[in-house]
Every structure is written in C-alpha cells, then in structure tokens.
Chains A and B, each alone.
Chain A
Amino acid sequence: MVSTETDILRAAEEWRRAGRGVALATVIETWGSAPRPVGSHLIIDEDTNFLGSVSGGCVEGAVITEALDVIADGKPRMLEFGVADETAWQVGLSCGGRIRVYVERVE
C-alpha cells in the first residue's frame, strides 16, 4: 500500500519522538511533467531510512544525501532537479520535468 501524506507526517512525528534525527522534504514547485505533485513529502532519518516520495524514485537518492546534511546542521535547503541539471544523467527526471524540493529538519 502506498503511504498517504498523512501517514508520512504522522511517522515523522513518531520518528522524532523516538529520538531519531529526522528531515522532511517537500515538493514546493514543479514544471512540466513532474511525477509527484506539489505538497508531496519524503521523510528521512539519520540512518537513511525513508518514507514517502518526492519524484517516484528518480531523485530520492540525492534528496536523502542532502537530508543527512540538513539533519546534521539544521539549515533548511532548497534543491532543484531537472533534465538541465549537470548531473542529469545520474539523478535527472527522465520525464523531462523539473522540481524544487525544500528540505528541513524536524526540531
């Protein structure tokens, strides 16, 4: 079963209450044919466990890597992905869309 955005935010709260370092990633803008709508969430903990999706798999790996830095230093980050990205062959969106993802730590 696919997790709903509700399940994800509830899990974020549970993970944090259990003492885990947690980052919340949110799709805040999309252009073209982006795979996941604005408002979609992905949560990541310090051991790279994750739940949810911001792109249906295309850029999750890169978001998780950035999320670990966010968990470490607490500074929110704005990430942008698209086919024009220089690392597109690695983490680009095959659909040709572009997305902007906001990553913040759950304090």
Chain B
Amino acid sequence: MRLGLLSDLNAERAARRAAILVTELASGEQRLVREGDIGQDPLAAELQEALRRGKSGLLEQNGRQFFLTVQAPPVRVAVIGAVHISQALAPMAKGVDLDVTIIDPRTAFATPERFPDVPVLAEWPDAALPDYGLDRYTATVALTHDPKIDDPALIAALRSPCFYIGTLGSRKTHERRVQRLLSAGFGEADLARIHAPIGLDIGAVSPAEIAVSILAEIIAALRQDRRRAA
C-alpha cells in the first residue's frame, strides 16, 4: 500500500468520515473511495452495500476479486451527567472501544478527578452538543435524573441522526418526559427512538451493573441491525 493512501485513510478516520479501501487481489492495485465519492465509483452499488453493513470483505466482480477494507468512524458515547453510573461506565466503555465524553453543567460533578481518563465538558448539553456533533456513529445517554439537564440533551439527540438514545427514569418519569417532548413538537416516531428506562433488563442494581446494561444495549443497537442484514 502506498504511504499516501494509508495516510488518506487515516485522515478520513480522524475526520469521522467513512471510507473504503478497494484492493484488487490479483494485481495489488488499490484505491481509496471516500463516503461522498462512492456514487462515482465503478463498484458504487457494492461499496454502498458494504458501507451499510459496516463490514470488510471480499467481492467478486466479472472474474476479478477485490478486498474491501471498510472503515467506519470510531463510535462515541455522549454521557450527560457526571454521576456515579457514568463513573462506572467510562472505563468499561473504553474496554469495548467506545469513546466517552462526559457532559454536565454542574462543576462540582464534572471534574477530571472524578473522570481521569475521558474528556469532561462542564457545560449545558445544548451548549456543548452542537460542537461535539451527534452523528450516526454516536450514542447519547442522559443520566442526571434532572429534566433541566436531560431534556435539552434528548432534544438535541432527537434532532440528530445518532444511533442510540437512552435515559434513566421510571415509567412515570418517562411518561412526564414524553408529554414534555410532545409539547416541544416531537412525534411518536421520534419518541420511539428513546430507550427508557435505559439499559437491557438484566435486573441491574448497582451503578456498575447499570453501566453494563447500558453498554450492552448500546452494543446491541450498534451491531444487531448489521447482523440481521448480514
């Protein structure tokens, strides 16, 4: 592989843009196809499908064999609330390759001492999230229990293509939240995107167990569609 090509591939990754490296195995010939340029490629339909599945793999076309290295951006989790569950979640998320950022306007909570290994933004979600950028490789998790802080994050998430939205709260709390979001102009289809109460139902009790259930649900949202598509 030419160094320039490798460098371009890494640059796309750093900019959080998907790209596919196409290698013709017989000749070793390679090209990098950026997400935005797939339509112009001779293998447009096949590359589009590979990107949708998010999986690298072999492709046979007119007797020629290609290998597609599919590179999707690293998956991020925006955690609203510098709370106990978040403290348990941050290191676990790292172990499964999820990049966590903690967002909480309460400066007593949002400290680097409480979260030594992840970025911490002591800002309101509606101030922090536009720059952070909720894209379709990002999950949003709202854990403060405080509608003043959680609601602006949920609203930003619902207006974004992020692949997962989850928030704490009993059914009653969630009903009230649904009413607030309905009056804010969201519809049933929007609200169906919210996982509440958050996390897979594994009977989790401690903050660490709840963190496990949240991460499991995020991984399920990330992988299961692709598995069904495979």
A-side interface residues toward B, CB under 8 Å? 1, 4-6, 9-10, 12-13, 16-17, 24, 26, 28-29, 38-39, 76, 78, 102, 104-107
Contact = CB atoms under 8 A, between A and B. Distances in A.
A93 B74 CA distance: 30
Q: Kindly list the 4 A-B residue pairs having the minimum CB-CB distance in the complex, ordered from nearest.
A: A39-B56, A76-B28, A28-B67, A107-B2
B70 interface: yes
A81 to B, nearest CB: 17
B10 A13 contact: yes
Contacts, number: 55
Given A6-B74, A9-B9, A38-B55, 9 more contacts: A4-B97, A6-B13, A9-B10, A12-B6, A38-B56, A38-B57, A39-B56, A102-B23, A106-B1
A106 B28 contact: no
B87 interface: no
Nearest to B2: A107
Interface of B: 1-3, 6-7, 9-10, 13, 23, 25, 28, 55-58, 67, 69-71, 74, 94-95, 97
Nearest to B56: A39
Main secondary structure of the interface of A (DSSP, over half): mixed
B136 to A, nearest CB: 18
B6 A1 contact: no
A107 B1 contact: yes
